[in-house]
Amino acid sequence: MAELGLPGVLQPGVGLRGRVAGARGRSPFAAGPGNKSDFSGGSEGRRSRSAFGGGRSLALLGTLAAAFFVASAHAQVLASRIWPARDYTRLTLESPAELKYKVFSIKDPERLVLDLEVAELSPALAELNSKVAVDDPYVQGLRVARNRPGVIRLVLDLKGEVKPQVFTLPPIGDYGHRLVLDIYPAVPIDPLAALIAESEKKQLVLEKPDARAPDKPTEKPKVARLATIVIDAGHGGEDPGARGRRGTREKDVTLMIAKRLKTLVDDEPSMRALLTRDGDYVLKLEDRVKKAHTVKADLFVSIHADAFVRPTARGSSVFALSEKRATSEAARYLANEANRADLIAGVNLTSKEDYIQRTLLDLYQTATIDHSLRLGNAVLRQLGTVNTLHKGQVEQASFHVLKAPKIPSILVETAFISNPEEEKKLNDQTYQDKLARAILAGIRDYFAKNPPRPQSPLALN
């Protein structure tokens, strides 16, 4: 985490270097509701007071000419990105000033049309059609062309019915103004489906008679139920997390370790795992918690890599939720940074339900935190066998991602990505495996003393 703690932590090559002193005072998000077929946005007028963008120097121009020039120079798209994922596909357009736009959908075949009020068909827009991945779950193709003077039209050919959300984001970190089009499936993806498939597979294996003892009557294995571990790879998509000096991105490392841990958990006869995200895309903190809640997870483990300005900072640490105060200044700082992830990632805050706020009032929270600390201590002890420990005990702070009311939840800072030595280790598959095995060993230790309670309707028997 600590995504803003390091210089140059966010994505390079975005094309908006040296930008935008006029970031303050922008209008709030111009969001459109999720399921209307036609909505538009953008600020009521372009702001000529915005600073000089696009690397142009206006120093020699007169005031009036400069104002006009800046306005037209800003109404353009300087960077474009598409993030395809199972949950949804995101299209991001970045510009030095807020873009004016209109979105509508057309049926037979399903298409989405995005009209942008921009002066020119910039390279960032022109290259968009080549950025659509063949295996994008929702977008078949994309066409860009001038529609009329001052308007560039994007037409997205879709693979099926979708529920688009469009909104703008003010500049943050290394990013300028962003226009975001999120393309959700009309029928949302059900996280339970994947999990049930996993359980059925495991049950088949468990019920298979032992081939070496054919004479013995087969006894049904005494697995009360599978414990469900939700593994959360920190960051993703527009939010790369912290960045190491060699360019390692936290979001990539966390996903690799999370996937490794999922395989190990699924190999355990009494456990099964679900990843909150299995690709490189933005996932709201709230949605990570919600997924764990939906599958009635027994445990929630969020994987991160730490960063600090001092490259010598090192070691693993484990965090649990604190309802009241953070156990240290550093823990409070980390929680604040982690909770900002939604802003960097680009989350449509207008669609926010106050799930997380509500859960804070839950009476279960105190008992859950107690179990989170037991789990955290077990995992921390095991991490101590593969890495030095940054802190000898579990720290506590108000992390949004740890706020599931009934699910013991921990956040593991595997190592410091800002420490060159640890960055190297984080990239090493053998070491990733060691970290994953240590976390699993901690989970096992926790379950040995605190067996999963018979609560889940997903129980096998």
- For Zn ion, which residue has the nearest CB? 1
234 binds Zn ion (CB under 5 A): yes
Beta bridge partners of 409: 300
Pair of tokens at residue 442: 């901690």
1 binds Zn ion (CB under 5 A): yes
Beta bridge partners of 165: 182
- Nearest approach, Cβ of 270 to Zn ion (angstroms)? 30
How far is the C-alpha of 79 from the C-alpha of 81, rounded, in Å?
Answer: 7
Name the DSSP class of 294.
H
22 binds Zn ion (CB under 5 A): no
Q: Which is nearer to Zn ion, 94 or 232 (CB)?
A: 232
Tally of helices (H runs) and strands (E runs) in the chain: 11, 15
Q: Which region, left, alpha or beta, applies to residue 442 given φ > 0 means left and ψ of -120 to 50 means alpha? A: alpha
Q: Which is nearer to Zn ion, 136 or 342 (CB)?
A: 342
- What are the phi and psi torsion angles at 327 (to 5°)? -75, -20
241 binds Zn ion (CB under 5 A): yes
The interface region with Zn ion, picked from 131-139, 228-236, 291-299, 394-402 by CB under 5 A, is 228-236
How far is the C-alpha of 227 from the C-alpha of 377, rounded, in Å?
Answer: 19
- Nearest approach, Cβ of 254 to Zn ion (angstroms)? 7
- Nearest approach, Cβ of 418 to Zn ion (angstroms)? 11
Q: Which is nearer to Zn ion, 112 or 334 (CB)?
A: 334
- The secondary structure element, H or E, covering residue 326 is none
- Nearest approach, Cβ of 341 to Zn ion (angstroms)? 7
Q: Which is nearer to Zn ion, 96 or 234 (CB)?
A: 234
The interface region with Zn ion, picked from 226-234, 256-264, 320-328, 422-430 by CB under 5 A, is 226-234
- Contacts (CB under 5 A) with Zn ion, residues 270-309: 304
- # residues near Zn ion by CB under 5 A: 4
How far is the C-alpha of 372 from the C-alpha of 141, rounded, in Å?
Answer: 45
- Nearest approach, Cβ of 241 to Zn ion (angstroms)? 5
The interface region with Zn ion, picked from 35-43, 92-100, 133-141, 231-239 by CB under 5 A, is 231-239
How far is the C-alpha of 79 from the C-alpha of 29, rounded, in Å?
Answer: 20
The DSSP result for 377-390, as a single string, is HHHHHHHTTTS-BS
Name the DSSP class of 241.
-
- Nearest approach, Cβ of 113 to Zn ion (angstroms)? 37
Q: Which is nearer to Zn ion, 304 or 403 (CB)?
A: 304
The interface region with Zn ion, picked from 112-120, 237-245, 270-278, 443-451 by CB under 5 A, is 237-245
Q: Which is nearer to Zn ion, 205 or 309 (CB)?
A: 309
- Nearest approach, Cβ of 23 to Zn ion (angstroms)? 24
Q: Which is nearer to Zn ion, 22 or 236 (CB)?
A: 236
In three-state secondary structure terms, 414 is strand
Q: Which is nearer to Zn ion, 286 or 298 (CB)?
A: 286
415 binds Zn ion (CB under 5 A): no
Q: Which is nearer to Zn ion, 139 or 410 (CB)?
A: 410
**Edge-to-edge strand ranges of the sheet holding 139-148:** 38-41, 101-106, 111-116, 151-158, 139-148
SS in 3 state form for 90-134? EEEEEECCCCCEEEEEECCCCEEEEEECCCCCCHHHHHHHHHCCC
Q: Which region, left, alpha or beta, applies to residue 235 given φ > 0 means left and ψ of -120 to 50 means alpha? A: left
- Letters for 339-378 (x = contact with Zn ion by CB under 5 A, - = none) are ----------------------------------------
- Nearest approach, Cβ of 338 to Zn ion (angstroms)? 6
- Nearest approach, Cβ of 442 to Zn ion (angstroms)? 19
Q: Which is nearer to Zn ion, 169 or 335 (CB)?
A: 335
Judge residue 289's burial from the number of C-beta atoms within 10 Å of its C-beta, 0-12 exposed, 13-18 middle, 19 or more buried: buried
- Nearest approach, Cβ of 372 to Zn ion (angstroms)? 18
Which residues of the chain form contacts with Zn ion (CB under 5 A)?
1, 234, 241, 304
